């Protein structure tokens, strides 16, 4: 279920939805606060005889959580992927009040998030289930991925995948190109409110010919292999799936030392950097280009973030 977007939009943006065999609902939420959405969701949950509702991130919880409680849903689970937004006292108060009514089981996607969530939601059970990825679902075909992105076989390519929002730090990554050789290309997959600003920035600092804005793609599992190195330059973060997905495609990762990145990045193939430090970021990215490929991050992901374990733990949580 997606709160934002009507069904035609979802099918256009995510073509695989129609092939998944899973029933999808688009609630077409409009910008701003929409209290009537809670009632619409509650009616839908009753009509579908829902027994378990799982929400991800604060926004969906604020709507679907109360709706599930009003609809008499037996199990309500809320998954938090990061905690930096709880630095706002107002956000903490609102989420705490809603949680007192909803009484969900709360899941953190990494151990580092759990203590903060225990403080935000006193009296609620908080459990950690680490993000996981199914390595078998990703393509390792480098040449095919590069053809899809119209990249030359010999190009030096940095990749980034994610929402184009301030917190993700793409501006820092673009600035880092000033300290890298001219033959390095940056490919950014994703969309968001900052796209126009980032495109303008790239032109202003004369690197626009080295930055490719691909926009939204729903076949990203087939595209990671095009990158020589993946970068997650976030200002704040939890444990992002993109970092795990890139490594599942045998791509080394350079990421900001925020959130639980330290546990997510293979120390033998990747590295962490100070956030908002473009020169340091450029240095680590260049080291990744030059480093002999002696360690594959695939095994690291399989050992620490295997999909089977994640799936089993979520199934267990839903059966309680």
Helix residue ranges per DSSP H, the chain: 7-13, 36-47, 58-70, 89-102, 114-120, 142-148, 170-176, 195-204, 241-248, 261-264, 278-290, 297-304, 307-319
Structure token digits, residue 115: 């203590």
For the record, the structure tokens of 257 come out as: 């030392």
- Give residue limits of the domains in the chain: 7-133+308-319, 135-304
3-class SS of residue 48: coil
pLDDT tens readout for residues 151-169: 987 789 999 999 999 999 9
Alpha carbon distance 76, 45 (integer Å):
12
* C-alpha to C-alpha distance for 56 and 60, rounded to whole angstroms: 6
Question: What gap in Å lies between CA 186 and CA 156, rounded to an integer?
Answer: 9
DSSP-based three-state secondary structure for 256 = strand
208 is written with which tokens?
């626009």
Could you tell me which of 156, 160, 180 has the C-alpha nearest to residue 281?
A: 180
User: What are the pLDDT digits (tens) for 242-273?
Assistant: 999 999 999 999 999 998 899 999 999 999 99
The CATH T-level fold of domain 7-133+308-319 is Rossmann fold (3.40.50)
Distances, alpha carbon 238 to alpha carbons 40, 46, 170, 267, in Å = 31, 33, 17, 18
Beta-bridge partners for 159: 187, 230
CA gap 181, 195 in Å, rounded: 24
CA-CA-CA-CA torsion sign (154, 160, 161, 163): negative
CATH top class, domain 135-304: alpha beta
What's the pLDDT score for residue 13? Answer: 74
What lies within 8 Å, CB to CB, of 172 at 6+ separation is: 233, 275, 276, 277, 278, 281
320 residues of the chain, pLDDT tens digit each = 888 888 787 777 777 776 777 788 888 898 899 999 999 999 999 999 999 999 999 999 999 999 999 999 999 999 999 888 888 899 999 999 999 999 999 999 988 889 999 999 998 989 999 999 999 999 999 999 999 999 987 789 999 999 999 999 999 999 999 999 999 999 999 999 999 999 999 999 999 999 999 999 989 999 999 999 999 999 999 889 999 999 999 999 999 999 889 999 999 999 999 999 999 999 999 999 999 888 899 999 999 999 999 999 999 999 86
Same fold, 7-133+308-319 and 135-304: yes
Number of residues that make up the chain = 320
CB 275, CB 257: distance < 8 Å: yes
Residue 159 contacts residue 185 (beta carbons within 8 Å): no
- Distances in Å between the Cα of 254 and the Cα atoms of 5, 11, 186, 260 are 33, 33, 13, 14
Each residue's pLDDT tens digit, 180-193:
999 999 999 999 99
For the chain, counts of helices (H) and of strands (E): 13, 10
């Amino acid at each position: 279920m997606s709160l934002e977007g009507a069904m035609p939009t979802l099918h256009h943006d995510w073509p695989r939805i129609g092939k998944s065999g899973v029933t999808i609902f688009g609630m077409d939420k409009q910008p701003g606060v929409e209290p009537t959405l809670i009632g619409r969701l509650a009616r839908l949950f009753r009509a579908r005889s829902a027994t378990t509702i799982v929400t991800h991130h604060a926004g969906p919880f604020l709507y679907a959580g109360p709706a599930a409680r009003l609809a008499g849903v037996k199990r309500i689970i809320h998954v938090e992927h990061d905690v930096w937004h709880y630095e706002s006292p107002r956000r903490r108060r609102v989420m705490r009040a809603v949680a007192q009514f909803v009484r969900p089981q709360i899941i953190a996607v990494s151990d580092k998030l759990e203590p903060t969530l225990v403080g935000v939601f006193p009296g609620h059970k908080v459990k950690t289930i680490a993000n996981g990825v199914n390595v078998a679902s990703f393509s390792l075909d480098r040449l095919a991925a590069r053809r899809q992105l119209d990249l030359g076989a010999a190009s030096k390519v940095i990749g980034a995948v994610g929402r184009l929002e301030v917190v993700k730090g793409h501006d820092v990554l673009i600035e880092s190109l000033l300290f890298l050789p001219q033959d390095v290309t940056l490919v950014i997959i994703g969309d968001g409110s900052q796209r126009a600003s980032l495109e303008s920035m790239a032109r202003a600092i004369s690197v626009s010919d080295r930055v490719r804005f691909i926009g939204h793609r729903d076949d990203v599992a087939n595209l990671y292999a095009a990158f020589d190195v993946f970068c997650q330059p976030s200002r704040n973060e939890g444990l992002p799936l993109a970092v795990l997905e890139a490594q599942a495609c045998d791509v080394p990762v350079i990421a900001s030392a925020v959130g639980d990145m330290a546990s997510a990045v293979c120390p033998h193939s990747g590295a962490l950097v100070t956030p908002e430090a473009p020169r340091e970021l450029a240095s680590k990215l260049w080291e990744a280009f030059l480093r002999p490929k002696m360690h594959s991050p695939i095994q690291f992901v399989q050992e620490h973030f295997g999909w089977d374990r994640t799936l089993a733990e979520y199934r267990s949580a839903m059966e309680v």
